[in-house]
Amino acid sequence: MKLDVIAFGAHPDDVELGCGGTIVKLGAQGYRTGVVALTRGEMGTRGSAETRAREFAASAGVMGVSMHKALDMPDGRVDLNWENKVKVIREIRAHQPRIVFAPYWVARHPDHEAASRIVREASYLAGLKKLDTGQEAHRPFKVLFYQARFEFSPSFVVDISSSHEKKLEAIRSYGSQFHGPKNADHGTDETLISRPDFIERIATRDRQYGTYVGVEFGEPFLVREALRIDDPVDFFGPECLETIP
């Protein structure tokens, strides 16, 4: 199945937290979207691989993606190696996305840092015709990096005001990870993200980036290359005046 966009995360729920509003918005605009988790999240303090698979599917339904998939890289041991790059290359070639989303390369969790490099390098390598995976070579037009724990100076911010509620609904699909009932399946240990105020912290961050572009909620993105703008007068049009205090 060909897609316009694939968002990669190290674990189920990474994409929802970092760029879920943008994924929802792109789907509503008619683009075909997909989400790929490199691991099944089996090392998480709360929940199990089976529980998180059900939650992943529920979240995918909320976001309206055309495809969601968890690869089999071991959680907590996402290594920057050839085998893992080929797994991502196969997904890129299978779906031929125009745009790939990846986590920012500076992160607290080593899986996130490794995932960032794996996806970035695989996105380039997927375009090499002599790299044989039995699939047609395909290189995405651009890799866009989304924010996790550490901030960056964004290349641009997407207005997600219309899709923010869906983003939070998708996050809440992961009942084992975020604030909710404690039981044997979820686990009784508290974590940073299981605290009652964690989702409100996400909303506060989204409000912060929304203020940068004069909207209610926003998600920041970073690109490594210069952005091409052919008509700056049109690009910095009337809507930009709304951001002026």
Strand blocks (E) in 71-180: 99-103, 142-146, 156-159
Mean pLDDT, 10 residues at a time, the chain of 245 residues:
96 94 97 96 69 89 96 93 98 98 94 96 98 97 94 96 95 73 52 67 94 95 93 75 51
Residue 35 bridge partners (DSSP): 7, 68
Q: Give the pLDDT score at 147.
A: 94
With a CB cutoff of 8 Å and minimum separation 6, the contacts of 78 are 10, 38, 39, 84, 110, 111, 114, 115, 118
Hey, CA dihedral for 22, 120, 67, 96, is it positive or negative?
Answer: positive
For residues 17 and 85, the answer to whether their CB atoms sit within 8 Å is no
With a CB cutoff of 8 Å and minimum separation 6, the contacts of 193 are 177, 178
Q: Give the pLDDT score at 198.
A: 77
| Angle in degrees, 0-180, between the axes of helices 49-63 and 164-172, rounded to the nearest 10 | 160
Number of domains in the chain: 1
Q: Give the pLDDT score at 46.
A: 63
For residues 92 and 126, the answer to whether their CB atoms sit within 8 Å is yes
Residue 38 belongs to domain spanning: 5-241
Give first-to-last CA distance, the chain, whole Å: 45
Q: Give the pLDDT score at 244.
A: 47
CATH (domain of 13):
3.40.50.10320
For residues 25 and 163, the answer to whether their CB atoms sit within 8 Å is yes
Alpha-carbon torsion, ordered 174, 113, 49, 71, to 10 deg: 110
Helix runs in 42-109, H state only: 49-63, 82-95
Residue among 52, 93, 43 nearest 70 (CA): 52
